[in-house]
Amino acid sequence: MSDPIEAAIFETLAKADPKGVGGKSVEPADVAKHIQTEQWQRVLPKVRATALHLMRQGRLTITKKGKVVDPSSFRGVTRLRLPTEAETAAALAALPPALAEDDD
C-alpha cells in the first residue's frame, strides 16, 4: 500500500475491528484525524474520495444509517467499514470487464 490515505483508512479500521469481520465502522473524520491531527478538515475530502475508490474495488464499504450506500449517489454523514464477502463479490461484479490483451 503506497497511498498514505489508503493505509490510514485500513489502520483506523484495524483498531476498530481487530478481527477484520466487517462489523465495526469508523467515521471518515477519524481517518483524517489519524493522518493530520491539526487541520484534519483539509484531508477529509481526500479521505472520502479514497474511500469511494476502495468501495468501487470491493475493498471497503461505506454506510449511512447502517445501510450500504450507492457509490454513485450518496451524500451526507457516512461511516466506513470492511466489506462482507457478499459485498466484495457484488462490487467486483459491478466493475467493467477488463480489456482483453491481444497476443498477436
pLDDT tens digits, 25-52: 999 999 999 999 999 999 999 999 999 9
CATH assignment of 4-88, given 1.10.10.10, 3.90.1150.10, 3.30.70.260, 1.20.1050.10? Answer: 1.10.10.10
Of the pLDDT bands very low, low, confident and very high (cuts 50, 70, 90), residue 99 is very low
> What is the CA angle 56-9-18, rounded to 5?
110
Name residues whose C-beta falls within 8 Å of residue 54's C-beta, 6 or more positions apart in sequence. Answer: 6, 9, 60
Q: What is residue 91's predicted lDDT score, i.e. its pLDDT?
A: 73
Give the CA dihedral 41, 46, 47, 51, nearest 10 degrees.
150
pLDDT tens digits, 2-29: 799 999 999 999 988 777 665 789 999 9
